[in-house]
Structure 1
Amino acid sequence: MKLNAGCWRQRLAVLLIATIWLTDCATVGFEAGAVAACPPVVEYSREFQTRAAEELVTLLEGSAIAEVLNDYAVMRQQARVCREA
């Protein structure tokens, strides 16, 4: 029975390695114009955008939150472009 268990371990190891390789290939980026799943872009009301802009002005210069919001704005624009493609 121990001989059989070793055989299954070897098969399991091969399956695990193959899964890792295939997963690694799946995480590679896509080329422009290729079919891809685009994240949704949440739409905010004009009033909400105005309130957010007013709150952003009150933050200290160099604030981490302001930097994160700038990154978020870039990601939103990228998602819009992705959806239009």
Structure 2
Amino acid sequence: MLRKTLNASRLQQEVARRIHRLNEVVEDGVKIQVPRPHLQEADATGCNRNKRHFGNAIGFERSIEGVLKAVRAEYNLSSEAHEEVDPFGD
């Protein structure tokens, strides 16, 4: 399956959205801090990014891993460098 690509911010937002829709997270009313993904060499599955150190995630590790597994199968991190856009056109 071919993965879609997202930049780091969009990928971070997608993971956060999915985590905060999990029943156990909603029921407990917790806010889990989702780290920005970091580009790495593609692993055996073809995934090219890594995330570590989720904040406020104690007790939710298994659920978070399930979300990460699904997102790894769907998305890769864009390898393009972030370009600064000058709003004044200089």
TM score, norm. by length of structure 1: 0.26
Greater percentage in helix: 1
TM score, norm. by length of structure 2: 0.25
